[in-house]
Structure 1
Amino acid sequence: MTKDEERDFRNGLVEMVPVLRAFARSLCGKRDLADDLAQETLAKALQARDKFRPGTNLKAWLFVILRNEFYSNHRRAKTVANYAAAEGLHSESMEPEQHASLDLSDLMRAFNQLPFEQKEALILTAGEFSYDEAAAICGCAVGTIKSRVSRARKRLESLVEGKDGVLPSRSEQPEDPTDAFFKFGRSVTEKAHG
């Protein structure tokens, strides 16, 4: 990289911090975990900056790193979560008191019923990635992303309207971060513009 390209790369990283944090939060569901994930992503991006091709999509490149890091962390955390569940260390969550919170809670439980790939496709497209960019991040065809988004929307509608089974109660929902994958997904777009 030339000095100008290096400067542009670093400036691009700084500009992407809020968007990375928002996407990480939509994946993790918890601010502290999301901040750690975003920080790890930035550190890995700096270490791998010689692999980035100037003129290509920095945002998509960073999201691939973040997504891969999330998967790695998830594999490590799954063992810890299984141990915690066996030891009875899961905490009870509080019931929301407002009707709007209950509606959001229903939506979150519906999201948790979706396959991981569908949740991921929704988050990326809600985060204003094009279908092409989302496909590149997920490593699949554009048609696959479109199909995942379409199926996810139809399934969500059926679940929320009660046409397709019953949503589990809040007490049946585990508090594992991967189960809350989409908990903050709707904030991705807001934070990306903020």
Structure 2
Amino acid sequence: MYLSTVPPEPSPSEGLPRHVQDQIGRRLNELIPSVDTVGFDTRLGQVVLRLRAALLDAEAERQITKEFGDELIALVPRLRRFARLRTGSEAEADDVVQATLMRAWEHRSQFQAGTNLVGWLFTILRNTHLNQRKRLRREVEDVDGVFAGTLSAAPDQEHRIALFELQAALDALPAEQRETLMLATVDGLGYDEVGAILGCPVGTVKSRVSRARERLAATLGLS
């Protein structure tokens, strides 16, 4: 079973005290809640059911290991959350996850047992979304996505305002800093895993995360 690498302790050069970093992490998790389950009455849920059956057949024919099939299904909620972070739209996120699962199935022979499955899947998802966006030649807006859903469930006006401020601060970040921060902070991936997904050195990942945190802290008045 895959165990996520715990990100290393930040060096003093990263600047922000640990409690400020923790504050940012908690706020981001409030803004973008995790998705624990996928309803089997949904279109994506039906895809997962069919994929599970295909994986069992492939396991019986010794095309894949049981660990690969179990882990792939278990990672669907995390793929869904990552897709929502990228698209801002629940419906589009499910489409991206569906395409990702299909590509993972088609290229299952390319995955090397014992290597990082979550990194492999996240890379497929990211590339799938980038290719779709290029084909559509448009940027996706947050119409019915994670942020809107979070606001509708917010308990009071003060909390809603805080979430709006956080979303605005995130939107003001450079895209590469925002995505790197989300992967490292919200999804809890190690810096090496984030670097593999984004195709950049670990030092670049650390720098982007540090700068993103510092800009968020300054904008939100955290200390």
Name the TM-score, length of structure 2 as normaliser.
0.62
CA distance in 1, matches of 2:80, 2:138: 25
* Paired AA for residue 152 in structure 1: A
Return the letter of the residue paired with 1:104: L
Alpha-carbon shift at residue 14 of structure 1 (Å)? 0.7
Partners of 1:8 and 1:43 lie apart in 2 by 18
Relative contact order, CA 8 A, sep 6+: which one is greater? 1
| Count of residues in correspondence between the two structures | 154
In structure 2, stretches of 5+ residues that fail to align are 1-58
Structure 1 residues 22-74: Cα deviation after superposition (integer angstroms, max 9, x where no partner) = 11111111211111111111101001111111110101100000111111122
Is the alpha carbon distance of 1:110 and 1:131 closer, same or farther for their aligned partners in structure 2, counting shifts above 3 Å?
same
Which structure 2 residues correspond to residues 80-99 of structure 1 after superposition, within 5 A?
98-99=157-158
Structure 2 Cα separation of the partners of residues 122 and 80 of structure 1: 20
1:58 equivalent in structure 2:
117
Partner of 2:40: none
Which residue identity does 2:109 align to in structure 1? D
Where 2:75 maps in the other structure, the secondary structure is: helix
- 2:108 is matched with which residue: 49, 57, 80? 49
Deviation at 1:161, TM superposition (A): 3.0
Q: What's the secondary structure of 1:5's corresponding residue?
A: coil
Between the aligned partners of 1:5 and 1:130, the Cα distance in structure 2 is 26
Task: Please name the residue that 1:187 is paired with.
Answer: none
Instruction: Indicate if the aligned counterparts of 2:97 and 2:125 stay in contact, CA closer than 8 A.
Output: yes
Question: C-alpha deviations, 1:138-192, integer Å up to 9, x for none?
Answer: 1110000000000001111222239xxxxxxxxxxxxxxxxxxxxxxxxxxxxxx
Flag the 1:114–1:68 CA change in 2: closer, same or farther, 3 A: same
Q: Which residue of 2 aligns with 1:157?
A: 217
- Match of 2:198? 138
Cα deviations by residue, 1:64-91 (Å, 9 ceiling, x for unpaired): 001111111222333487xxxxxxxx9x
SS in 2 for 1:56: coil
C-alpha separation in 1, matches of 2:92 and 2:139: 15
In the other structure, the counterpart of 1:36 is 95
* 1:114 counterpart = 2:181: no
Runs (5+) with no aligned partner, structure 1: 82-89, 163-194
Out of 69, 72, 76, which is 2:135 matched to?
A: 76
After TM superposition, the structure 1 stretch with the greater mean CA deviation from structure 2, 68-77 or 95-104, is: 95-104
Any conservation in 1 of the 2:194–2:205 contact (CA below 8 Å)? yes
RMSD over equivalenced CA pairs, Å: 2.8
